[in-house]
C-alpha cells in the first residue's frame, strides 16, 4: 500500500480545491467563496483526513471531496470570525466584508456552511454516510459553541484554565479530531481506531492552540509571520493571561490588572510589562510543560491505533512538523 507524505497530500488537495468551480449566479454570492478558498492556508484539516484514510487505504483521491468539504467549513468559520472581530486583513489580503460588505460576508459564509455539508454527503459511501454526517455535524456545532464561549470570556476576568481548555477544545480541537475520525471511517477503520484517532486529534488541537498562545508572546515576529503581543494588547483570554492571573500575587497581580484595565497605553510598553509579569510568575514554563504533556499524550494514543507502526510514520512526522515551532 502506497504511503503518502503530507507534502504530496497537500499538493493534491490544493489542486483539487483550486479547481473547484463556483460559476453559479448570483456572482456576488459565489465570488467571495472562491476568493476565501483562494487565499491559501496550511490545509491542515484536509491533509489530516487524507493521512488518516491512508492508514487503511491508498486510493486517497476517492475522498478529496470530503476533505475539501472540511476545508470549506473551516474557511466559513474564518470568514465569519473576521466579520465578528472586524478584522481588515486575512493572509495579507482584505477580508470579505472589507472587499465586499458585511451583508455579503454573512450570506456567502452561510452558503459555504451549506456547501460544506453538501460536499461531505455527496459521493459518501452509503455504509458510512450516517457516521460521517453525525461526526461532522457534531464538530461543526461544537465549533460554534466554542466561539460563543470565547466571546463570553471577553467580558470576564475570572475565566479558569479548565474553562479555557474546554473552550479551545470546542473552537479548535474538535474539527481537527473530526478530520482524522472521518478519514478513518471512510478508510474502513474499526470504531475503536476511529475513536482513538479522534482523541489523538483533540490532544493535537489543544497543543496547537497553546503553542499559538505561547508564540504570540515569545516568537520571533519575522518567523511567526504576524506581530507579537497582539493578544496582550487586546486582553485576549489566553492560557498565558489566565495562568498569570491565577499565579500572580502582590505587585505583579496589581500591575497586571492595571494593564488589563488601562484604556490608553503605548502597545510596546504594555507588551514589555505584561511579558515581564509572565516571566516573573513562571507562565512560559507552565505553558511549555502543558504543550509537551498534551503532545506526548497524543502520540501515546496514536500508538494504540491498530495498524502497523510503519504506517503511522508519515502522520507522526506531520504532527512533529506542526509542533516544531516551539518543541
> Taking the CB of residue 118, how many other CB atoms lie within 10 A of it?
12
Sign (positive or negative) of CA dihedral 294, 300, 303, 306: negative
| Helix %, strand %, coil % of the chain (to 5) | 75, 0, 25
At 292 the three-state DSSP class reads: helix
At 89 the three-state DSSP class reads: strand
How far apart are alpha carbons 76 and 181 in whole angstroms?
Answer: 21
Per-residue pLDDT, averaged over 26-40, amounts to 93
The DSSP line for 177-241 is HHHHHHHHHHTT--HHHHHHHHHHHHHHHHHHHHHHHHHHHHS-HHHHSS-TTHHHHTT---HHH
As beta bridge partners, residue 89 has 94
Per-residue pLDDT, averaged over 231-253, amounts to 96
Contacts of 226 (CB under 8 A, 6+ apart): none
Q: Could you give the angle at the alpha carbon of 224 between the alpha carbons of 218 and 241, nearest 5°?
A: 40
Residue pair 78/22 in contact (Cβ under 8 Å)? The answer is: no
Q: How many CA atoms lie within 13 A of 201 on its CB side?
A: 30
Contacts of 75 (CB under 8 A, 6+ apart): 36, 37, 39, 41, 112
> Does the pLDDT of residue 225 top 70, yes or no?
no
Global confidence as pTM: 0.95
Domains of the chain: 1-123 (1.10.600.10), 126-327 (1.10.600.10)
The predicted-structure confidence for 164-173, as pLDDT tens digits, reads as follows 999 999 999 9
Across the chain, mean pLDDT equals: 95
> Taking the CB of residue 125, how many other CB atoms lie within 10 A of it?
12
> Does the pLDDT of residue 32 top 70, yes or no?
yes
The predicted-structure confidence for 269-301, as pLDDT tens digits, reads as follows 999 999 999 999 999 999 999 999 999 999 999
Amino acid at each position: 500500500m502506497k504511503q503518502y507524505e503530507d507534502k504530496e497530500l497537500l499538493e493534491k488537495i490544493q489542486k483539487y480545491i483550486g479547481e473547484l468551480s463556483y460559476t453559479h449566479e448570483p456572482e456576488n454570492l459565489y465570488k467571495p467563496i472562491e476568493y476565501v478558498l483562494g487565499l491559501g492556508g496550511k490545509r491542515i484539516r484536509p491533509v489530516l483526513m487524507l493521512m488518516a484514510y491512508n492508514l487503511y487505504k491508498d486510493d486517497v483521491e476517492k475522498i478529496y471531496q470530503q476533505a475539501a468539504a472540511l476545508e470549506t467549513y473551516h474557511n466559513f468559520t474564518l470568514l465569519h470570525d473576521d466579520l465578528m472581530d472586524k478584522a481588515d486583513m486575512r493572509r495579507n489580503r482584505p477580508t470579505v466584508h472589507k472587499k465586499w460588505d458585511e451583508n455579503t460576508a454573512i450570506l456567502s459564509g452561510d452558503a459555504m456552511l451549506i456547501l460544506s455539508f453538501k460536499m461531505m454527503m455527496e459521493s459518501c459511501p452509503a455504509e458510512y454516510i450516517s457516521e460521517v454526517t453525525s461526526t461532522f455535524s457534531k464538530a461543526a456545532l461544537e465549533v460554534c459553541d466554542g466561539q460563543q464561549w470565547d466571546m463570553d470570556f471577553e467580558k470576564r476576568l475570572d475565566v479558569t484554565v479548565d474553562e479555557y481548555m474546554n473552550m479551545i477544545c470546542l473552537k479548535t480541537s474538535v474539527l481537527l479530531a473530526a478530520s482524522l475520525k472521518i478519514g478513518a471511517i471512510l478508510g474502513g477503520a474499526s470504531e475503536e481506531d476511529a475513536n482513538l484517532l479522534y482523541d489523538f486529534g483533540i490532544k493535537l488541537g489543544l497543543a496547537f492552540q497553546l503553542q499559538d498562545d505561547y508564540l504570540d508572546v515569545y516568537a520571533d515576529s519575522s518567523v511567526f509571520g504576524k506581530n507579537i503581543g497582539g493578544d496582550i494588547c487586546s486582553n485576549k483570554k489566553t492560557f498565558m493571561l489566565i495562568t498569570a492571573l491565577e499565579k500572580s500575587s502582590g505587585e505583579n497581580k496589581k500591575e497586571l490588572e492595571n494593564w488589563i484595565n488601562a484604556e490608553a497605553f503605548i502597545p510596546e510598553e504594555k507588551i514589555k510589562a505584561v511579558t515581564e509579569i509572565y516571566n516573573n510568575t513562571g507562565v512560559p514554563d507552565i505553558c511549555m510543560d502543558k504543550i509537551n504533556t498534551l503532545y506526548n499524550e497524543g502520540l501515546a494514543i496514536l500508538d494504540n491505533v491498530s495498524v502497523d507502526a510503519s504506517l503511522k510514520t508519515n502522520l507522526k512526522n506531520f504532527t512533529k512538523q506542526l509542533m516544531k515551532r516551539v518543541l
